[in-house]
Amino acid sequence: MLPEVFNPFVDGSPTTVMAAAAITRLLSAARLDALFDESSQNQYANELMFSTVFHLMAGVVTGTRKSIHHAYQTTEEKVGVSVVSVYGKLKNIETCTSQALVRAMAAEVAPLIDQMGGALPPLVEGYPVRILDGNCVASTEHRIKELRATAAGALPGKSLVVLDAGRRLIRDVFPCEDGHAQERALLEQVVPTVTKGELWIDDRNFCTFAFLAAIEERHAYFITRQHGKMPCEPVGPRRELGPVEGGTVYEQPVRVRGTDGRELHMRRIEVHLDHATRDGDRVIHLLTNLPLTGPGAVSGQQIAQLYRSRWKIETAFQELAQHLNSEINTLGYPKAALFGFCVALVIFNAISLMKAALRGCHGTEKVEEQVSNYYIAAELETTSRGMMIAIPLEHWQVFAVMTPVVFAKTMLMLAGKVNLRHFQKHPRGPKKPQPKRTYDPKHPHVSTAKLLEQRSRRRKGAM
C-alpha cells in the first residue's frame, strides 16, 4: 500500500509515520497558503509564505526545535528571508487566521475519526457534547520595549476553546489579544457556532442569562454551574434523587428572569459533596434545560456526572502544556503568542487523529486506559527528524492524494503495527505523607552515602 521506502519506519516506529502522515495530509504548504489567502483581512504573503511560518512554529511546538530562531537557522536557505522578517510576520498574523486554521483542520479530522471508528462512546446518548472553557496564555518574557520597565507579568492574550468530547477534538477557538479581557465578553462570538441538538457544558464564568437563552433559542442544551450573580426562583419542590460518586444529588425546577423580561425555565441540580472542592465548596449548583421526561430525558444523576466530564478539556490543556510547547514565553506580541497556541491546538488534533486510529484498531478501553500521551510525544520527538531525513519529502505526498477512505484504512493498518506496551501508562499509587524535616545550622549538609549505610545496618540488625 505504501512505497518500500517507508518499510523500516512502518515496522520500527509506526506511530511516527502516522503522525507525519496526518500532518502531511492536513497541513500541506498549498493548503496552508490557500487558507491564509481566504482568512487574512490585512496581512499579505509577500516573499515569506504563511506555510513556511507555520512549519517553523510547528517545529517549536513539537519540541524538535528549541525556538523560532533555532528553527530558522536549520532552514534558512529554504526560508529565503531574514529572521527579522520572520518575527515581523509572526507578530502580525491576525487572530482570524489563527482561528480559521484550527476550524479548518478540525473539520477535516472529524470525518476521518468517524471513518476509522475511532470516536469515543457518547457521554450521553443522542447529544453531541461540546465542552467550553477559557485559556489564558502564560506570561511572557519582557522583550518588547514597552514591557521592560515593569515587573508585572506580561499576558499576551487569552482564548475560549471548544472541545468535541465525542472525538476528543479541539473543534473551535476564539482568540483575544487582551490578556485582561473578561471571558464572558467573547461569548457573543461563540453563539453563532451553536447548532441544534448539541449539549454545551461549561463553568460558572459562562453562566449568563444572555448566553443560556441564546443556546435555548438555537434549540440546543446546556449544563452550567450556577453563578452567584444569577439568582433563581424556585417554581416547584426540591427532591432528593440519591447518591452519585462523590456526593448526593437533589433537583428542583427554577426560573430566571432576564433584564428584558424574558424567562428561562430550567432544572437546578444540587450536588452535596462528600468532600469539599479545592475552593472549599461543599455544594455545587448546576443549571440545565435538558428534558426531565419524554424523548431524550436525562436524569439529575446523569447531569451531575456529565458536569464532571468538563474536566476533559482541562486534561487537554494539561497535555498541551506537558507534551506540546503551546505557550512560548519568548513570543511577547499577542498575535504571535496566540498563533503559537493555535498551532499547538492543530498538532493536538493531529495526535487525536492518530489516537482515534489506535482506538479503531485496538479498542477504546485499551487505548484510553493504557496508552500514555507522554510516551507517544517522546517517540515523535526522537524519531521524526531522522525519518524526515531518510524519506524525501516527495514520498510523503502519497498521503495527501489518498481518498478519505484509503487514508483511514492506511492509518488503521499502521495502528495495527503499534505495540501498545511501548507506550503503556504507569500510574503512581497514592503519595506517602512527607515526614517533617529537621535542620541543624551546625550541620547544613549530610552525606547520602553515610545515611544509606546506616539504613543498611538497621536492616541487618533487624534480621
- The domain locations on the chain are 4-93+335-423, 121-320
Lowest mean pLDDT among 88-97, 206-215, 366-375: 366-375
The pLDDT of residue 175 is 94
Beta bridge partners of 233: 255
The pLDDT of residue 221 is 97
Nearest-angstrom CA–CA distance, 436 and 441: 16
- Reading the block at residue 58, the C-alpha cell is 510547528
Contact 393, 402 (CB under 8 A): no
- Reading the block at residue 221, the C-alpha cell is 442544551
| Model confidence at 111: pLDDT above 90 | yes
Mean pLDDT value of segment 191-211: 94
Mean pLDDT value of segment 327-332: 74
Contact 85, 68 (CB under 8 A): no
Mean pLDDT value of segment 78-87: 88
The pLDDT of residue 180 is 85
Contact 244, 271 (CB under 8 A): yes
| Residue 274 confidence class, pLDDT cut points 50, 70, 90 | confident
Nearest to 282 by CA among 317, 239, 247, 258: 247
Count of CB atoms within 10 A of residue 343's CB? 28
The pLDDT of residue 444 is 87
pLDDT tens by residue, 29-51: 888 999 999 998 887 767 789 99
pLDDT tens by residue, 7-22: 888 888 898 889 888 8
| Residue 413 confidence class, pLDDT cut points 50, 70, 90 | very high
The whole-model pTM stands at 0.86
The CATH number given to 121-320 is 3.90.350.10
Count of CB atoms within 10 A of residue 278's CB? 5
Mean pLDDT value of segment 133-138: 83
